[in-house]
Amino acid sequence: MLLIGLTGSIATGKSTVSALLSAPPYSLPVIDADLLAREVVEPGTAGYKAIVSYFGPSTPDLLVPPATNNNSMPENGPTGRGRPLNRPALGRRVFGDSAAAKRDRAALNAIVHPAVRRAMLGAAARAYAAGHRAAVLDVPLLFESALDRFCGTVLVVAVRDPDTQMRRLRARDPHLSADDAANRVRSQGDLRNKARRAEVRGGARGLVVWNDAGRDELAAEVRRAMEVIDAASPRWWSMVLWLCPPAAVVVGLWNFWMNVRINRRWAEVELRERAKL
């Protein structure tokens, strides 16, 4: 089964691309890291307890209030396992460039990422068992979390003009100030750098889906990318790998090794570019 890594940055249209890939004519299962990240920190989970333990003492508004509007909410929350996390309050702790924000973001990632990876592995195994020829791994921080090493191809959804990204973000989330929006964009890494990193992979291994215009143009970009991917990984090959699991394991290991080599070359390129500064 081909694992397609889908990434980008906030307000670039990655969710729209994910929706297009999950619908006909592609009908691919989507493993959504953001959705899984929410599930693994639901009240009562180990992730929830770890977050409350770390952030609770210094974040009084970490949990939603026990009562909202005029409706009473039990102290333990609607599930009886604890009040849900107050995500805006948690976001204020972890988004930004300050040393404290970076430290808190690293602590949050150390709690959430391992649990999400386990959930992703289970979802990928179920997609393979169901006979899907490909699955989409939708991860905003695909490169940063090194999950690109497991992907046969990577799609980066990008915009050429940074102002377009900021305008879309503030239109989608009008409660964000200009500084808050900028912090959220910066926290997900340089979008242009992600696009370059995809292109460095070469051929069908790395493609950029540009989203500077409307939905029709974006759909055409997705169609172009999928034509390249289908040519490199035809359906008959996917069927062979499904019918012969040992072959699928060998191909998966070979892809992993190739991606490790690609990432090493990318690290060397970055090192040379920094040396020029």
Strand 30-32, strand 134-138: pairing: parallel
Cβ burial of 8 (10 Å; 0-12, 13-18, 19+) is: buried
> pLDDT digit of tens for each residue in the chain (277 aa)?
899 999 998 888 899 999 999 999 999 999 999 899 999 999 999 999 999 999 999 999 999 887 655 555 556 666 667 889 999 899 889 988 889 889 999 999 999 989 999 999 999 999 999 999 999 999 988 998 899 999 999 999 999 887 888 888 888 888 877 888 777 777 776 788 899 999 989 889 999 999 988 889 999 999 999 999 999 999 899 899 888 989 999 999 999 999 999 999 898 888 888 787 6
Distance CA(256)–CA(195), nearest Å, equals: 20
For each of the domains in the chain, give its residue range(s) and CATH number, in order of start: 1-29+133-277 (3.40.50.300), 41-129 (no CATH)
Tell me, what's the pLDDT at 141?
87
Tell me, what's the pLDDT at 251?
92
Tell me, what's the pLDDT at 74?
55
pLDDT in tens, 16-30: 999 999 999 999 999
User: ω before 114 within 30° of 0 (cis)?
Assistant: no
Distance CA(31)–CA(35), nearest Å, equals: 8
Tell me, what's the pLDDT at 231?
93
